[in-house]
């Protein structure tokens, strides 16, 4: 959908840091002209970003990138490295797994592929100031991200690579509280199991399903936030 392309364009500007906090965002008229859409379509894209807490809209003064906060919105897809560095903290990634595997029945269904089809699989722990804050298990459709296994994910995050190679048009999230497995505890450097927050995310591009990702955060090291605006 056209408004989704506008949103993805704006997401990219904010996530890469090209537009820092309080930076002015393109107006409805400018976006309508740039993407050859109606002003109503451009307004919808901006309003959804405002509802997600990424931008602030003010009558008379325009739209601006919202101030950064030390929390993550489950409604937005952001680059974790950018989030951590925006807090002036050190970011490091440790890659545990990066390989091709046959798709199980569940993964094939999530990626809209045939069972046993080859898929790319990665496991990465993201660290903030030497503290593990997220384990990212990701299955990737090779048809839309052919060079995934060739990336150095200690230098670039999967989010950065996928945003460039297969710009997102749609995403779905499932959020649940879990007790981590022994393997996840090891990846997160947890001395013993503790409640964790798990976000299961599927993303799409124009070419189809891109990834199925399982993001696990230790409850003691993570805050989930968001902003919703309800209209009568």
Same domain, 11 and 81: no
Residue 160, domain member (yes or no): yes
Q: What is the pLDDT of residue 76?
A: 59
3-class SS of residue 153: coil
Residue 230, domain member (yes or no): no
**pLDDT tens-digit map of 13-49:** 876 778 888 889 999 999 999 999 998 888 888 887 7
Range of the domain at 157: 72-225
Distance (Å, whole) CA 49 – CA 194 = 33
Q: What is the pLDDT of residue 210?
A: 93
Look at 141 and 225; give whichever has higher pLDDT: 141
In the chain, pLDDT over 70 holds for what percent of residues?
88
Same domain, 108 and 199: yes
Residue 232, domain member (yes or no): no
Look at 57 and 161; give whichever has higher pLDDT: 161
Distance (Å, whole) CA 150 – CA 95 = 13
Quick one: which of 191, 187, 172, 182 has its CA closest to 217? Answer: 187
pTM of the model: 0.67
The structure tokens listed for 168 are 């997102």
Distance (Å, whole) CA 124 – CA 46 = 32
Count the Cβ atoms, other than its own, within 10 Å of residue 110. 19
Q: What is the pLDDT of residue 14?
A: 76
Q: What is the pLDDT of residue 8?
A: 79
Quick one: which of 160, 163, 221, 168 has its CA closest to 196? Answer: 221
**pLDDT tens-digit map of 205-226:** 888 899 999 999 998 876 655 4
Q: Please give the distance of CA 77 from its chain centroid, rounded to a whole number.
A: 3
Residue 206, domain member (yes or no): yes
Final residue in a domain of this structure, among 16, 48, 65? 65
């Amino acid at each position: 959908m056209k408004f989704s392309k506008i949103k993805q364009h704006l997401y990219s500007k904010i996530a890469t840091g090209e537009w820092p906090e309080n930076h002015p965002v393109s107006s409805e008229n400018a976006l309508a002209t740039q993407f050859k859409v109606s002003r109503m379509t451009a307004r919808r894209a901006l309003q959804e970003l405002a509802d997600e807490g990424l931008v602030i809209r003010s009558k008379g003064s325009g739209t601006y990138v919202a101030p950064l906060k030390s929390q993550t919105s489950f409604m937005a897809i952001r680059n974790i490295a950018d989030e951590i560095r925006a807090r002036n903290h050190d970011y490091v990634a440790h890659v545990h797994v990066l390989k091709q595997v046959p798709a199980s029945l569940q993964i094939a269904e999530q990626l809209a592929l045939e069972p046993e089809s080859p898929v790319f699989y990665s496991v990465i722990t993201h660290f903030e100031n030497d503290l593990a804050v997220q384990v990212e298990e990701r299955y990737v459709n090779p048809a839309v991200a052919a060079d995934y296994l060739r990336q150095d994910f200690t230098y670039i995050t999967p989010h950065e690579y996928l945003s460039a190679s297969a710009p997102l048009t749609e995403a779905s999230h499932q959020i649940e509280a879990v007790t981590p497995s022994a393997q996840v505890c090891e990846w997160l450097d947890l001395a013993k199991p503790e409640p964790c927050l798990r976000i299961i995310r599927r993303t799409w591009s124009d070419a189809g399903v891109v990834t199925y990702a399982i993001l696990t955060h230790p409850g003691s090291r993570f805050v989930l936030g968001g902003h919703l605006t309800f209209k009568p």
